[in-house]
Amino acid sequence: VKLDSANLGAHATDAQRSNLQQRTNALQRRIEHWIQIQTLYMPLVARLRSDADSSAGSNHEEVHAIDLWLPSKVLAASLQCDIELCKVEWRLREAQANDALSQLRQQLRLKSHLVNFKKEWITGQRANTRSQTIIKTVQAKIDAAADKYRAARSALSTLAVPLFKVDWDECFPMLRQEHIRFMTEGLDSTTQVSEGRRLLSTAWIWKANYRAHDSQSEQGSEELQDGRSS
């Protein structure tokens, strides 16, 4: 919802706006239901949420920005939380981090494919504008995946202490901006590169186990093909 809201331009159709509003309303209802259930298991959160709402005053808060007050957030506020709930969030955050890395790699592969396709096949101002818009959309998804990974890793860092997790950061290293690049990005394509040098220059996000998905690249090619023919 957050990403779609940001990408909703001034020329969005009524159908697009209506669809986004329906999704926003559905998310709002799910969060309200979550808050009711959470109060039963984490009564302390009711006071924390009330204090946060009082501090925010009358400022409107986007539905995707509502704080869920998961155990990691409670611990970050120097408060105690049930260890079993911490374990549940740990599993959630592990899954989120892995999912974010998968999305990040997928979108980087797609962007690399689209950029190369644009260089070789796209001509004309209209087609170039269309293809550049598609690439910007992919870049927004790359940024969103990176933010998702960093948020999940931050929560894992907080949860690792009470759960006595050791060496967890070897599985989930710090994600810096220089790590967010395609496998061969930065290498001179005209120069013969040894396998060892290529491996050393590859960002860590590509060295983890993952399943490659080609459907995104195929979809992007079709979109750029439409842009070339239009």
Instruction: Based on the fold, state whether residues 25 and 116 are members of the same structural domain.
Output: no
Model confidence at 216: pLDDT above 50? no
Question: What b/e string do you get for 41-68 counting C-beta neighbours within 10 Å, with b at 16 or more?
Answer: ebeebeebbeeeeeeeeeeeeebeebee
Domain that holds residue 11: 1-56+63-69
- Report how far residue 188's alpha carbon sits from residue 119's, in angstroms, rounded to the nearest whole number: 17
In a domain, 188, yes or no: no
In a domain, 25, yes or no: yes
In a domain, 14, yes or no: yes
Tell which phi-psi region holds residue 124, choosing left (phi > 0), alpha (psi between -120 and 50) or beta: left
Instruction: Based on the fold, state whether residues 51 and 85 are members of the same structural domain.
Output: no
Helix (H, G, I), strand (E, B) or coil at 42: coil
Using 50, 70 and 90 to split pLDDT, how confident is the model at 209?
low
Instruction: Based on the fold, state whether residues 175 and 92 are members of the same structural domain.
Output: yes
In a domain, 203, yes or no: no
Instruction: Based on the fold, state whether residues 94 and 135 are members of the same structural domain.
Output: yes
Structure tokens that stand for 165 in this block: 């997790």
Q: pLDDT digits over 2-33, tens only?
A: 888 877 777 788 888 899 999 999 999 999 99
Instruction: Based on the fold, state whether residues 27 and 115 are members of the same structural domain.
Output: no
In a domain, 220, yes or no: no
Q: pLDDT digits over 115-146, tens only?
A: 999 999 999 999 999 999 999 999 999 999 99
